[in-house]
Structure formats: structure tokens, C-alpha cells
């Protein structure tokens, strides 16, 4: 179900552009609370803070990076603290696992049924969640031709963000 105000839909290049991440974070947090409320769920303090950490920037964070931040803020230093919160967020469509980087990022299209396509900068780890409907349709057709039914798919593309393309040392790395 698309939502009325989706910064990622309105400005698909937002992740790679200079902007106020506080707006992304507050919009994302409000949207997450709405989604969970419709399911009779809520963000516990550790889940809320984990989502806030993921929403602070358009980049992927490993579970131990999240855990380190949570521990510094008094939420506990045991790995299950972060993993339970991250698993909850992923299960309810509020975060995605980026397999290539063994990390997590906040979903930029919370509450929308979508296939995630991630554009991952290999130099700075910035991430943009791009529309993937045409790719998903082609993949569904190819799978169907082989009698296979896809239940979920994630696309991860590695490259250089606009900023790193213009920085010679990053582009050459």
C-alpha cells in the first residue's frame, strides 16, 4: 500500500544527494509506527533506537555497528540485543538485510509491497533503494518458464555513487 508522502518515490536520487537526514529519519519513524500500529505491534525502546540508527544515513550498518551504538546508549552489549531488533524490523518490512555487505539498512518504501533493488556504492557504502518492478517482472517470467514460483527476491547492484564517481581516488579503487 503506497503512502502519501514517500521521499524516496518523490526524489529517487535522494540517497545520493545532499539533504537533511533528520527529515528522512522522522518520516521513516512515523511511518514505521503507523504500520506497526495497524498490526497491533509497537516499537520497543531498543527497536525504536535501532530503526533510528538505520535511518540516520543512507548506508548499510553491520549488526555489530548497531550493537556498539546501542551498548553505548545503555541498551545492552550482547549480540542478541541488536539481532532481535534487526530481525523484527526486517520481518515487518521496516529494514532490509544487504547480503553482499552482511549489513542492514532502513527500508525507504515502508508499507509498500515491493521488490528491493539496492544500488550500493563500493567506495563509501552509500545505498539507494531503487524501483525494481521491471526487473522483478522479467525475473518472474524467467522463473515461470522453468516452473518456478519466486516467493521473494532482492537485487543488489555494486557501483559508484555520483559523489565517488567524481573523486578520482575512489573511482579507481
Q: What is the pLDDT of residues 24-82, one digit of tens each?
A: 788 889 999 999 999 999 999 999 999 999 998 778 899 999 999 999 999 988 999 99
* CA distances in angstroms from 135 to 75, 105, 142, listed in the order given: 40, 21, 11
Selected residue with higher pLDDT from 143 and 15: 143
- pLDDT score of 1: 36
CB 160 within 8 A of CB 169: no
* CA distances in angstroms from 151 to 100, 105, 114, listed in the order given: 20, 21, 12
Q: Tell me the domain boundaries of the chain.
A: 7-172
Other Cβ atoms within 10 Å of 147 Cβ, number: 6
DSSP string, 20-61: -HHHHHHHHHHHHHHHHHHTT----HHHHHHHHHHHTSSB-B
Give residue 115's pLDDT band: very low, low, confident or very high (50, 70, 90): confident
CATH topology for 7-172 is: Arc Repressor Mutant, subunit A (1.10.10)
Q: In whole numbers, what is the pLDDT of the chain averaged over residues?
A: 85
* Res. 90: pLDDT tops 80: yes
pTM of the model: 0.80
* CA distances in angstroms from 66 to 44, 92, 94, listed in the order given: 16, 18, 15
- pLDDT score of 71: 95
Report the chain's C-alpha Rg in angstroms.
Answer: 17
pLDDT of 4-40, one tens digit each? 444 444 444 555 556 566 777 888 899 999 999 999 9
CB 15 within 8 A of CB 108: yes
Tell me what the mean pLDDT of segment 126-136 comes to: 84
Amino acid at each position: 500500500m503506497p503512502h502519501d508522502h514517500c521521499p524516496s518515490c518523490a526524489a529517487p536520487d535522494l540517497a545520493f544527494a545532499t539533504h537533511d537526514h533528520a527529515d528522512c529519519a522522522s518520516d521513516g519513524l512515523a511511518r514505521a509506527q503507523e504500520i506497526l500500529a495497524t498490526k497491533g505491534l509497537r516499537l520497543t525502546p531498543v527497536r525504536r533506537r535501532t530503526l533510528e540508527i538505520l535511518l540516520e544515513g543512507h548506508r548499510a550498518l553491520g549488526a555489530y555497528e548497531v550493537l556498539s551504538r546501542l551498548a553505548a546508549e545503555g541498551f545492552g552489549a550482547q549480540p542478541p540485543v541488536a539481532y532481535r531488533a534487526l530481525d523484527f524490523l526486517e520481518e515487518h518490512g521496516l529494514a532490509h538485510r544487504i547480503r553482499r555487505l552482511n549489513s542492514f539498512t532502513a527500508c525507504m518504501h515502508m508499507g509498500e509491497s515491493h521488490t528491493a533493488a539496492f544500488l550500493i556504492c563500493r567506495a563509501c557504502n552509500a545505498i539507494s533503494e531503487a524501483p525494481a518492478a521491471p526487473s522483478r517482472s522479467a525475473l518472474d517470467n524467467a522463473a515461470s518458464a522453468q516452473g518456478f514460483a519466486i516467493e521473494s527476491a532482492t537485487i543488489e547492484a555494486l557501483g559508484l555513487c555520483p559523489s565517488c564517481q567524481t573523486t578520482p581516488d575512489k573511482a579507481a579503487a
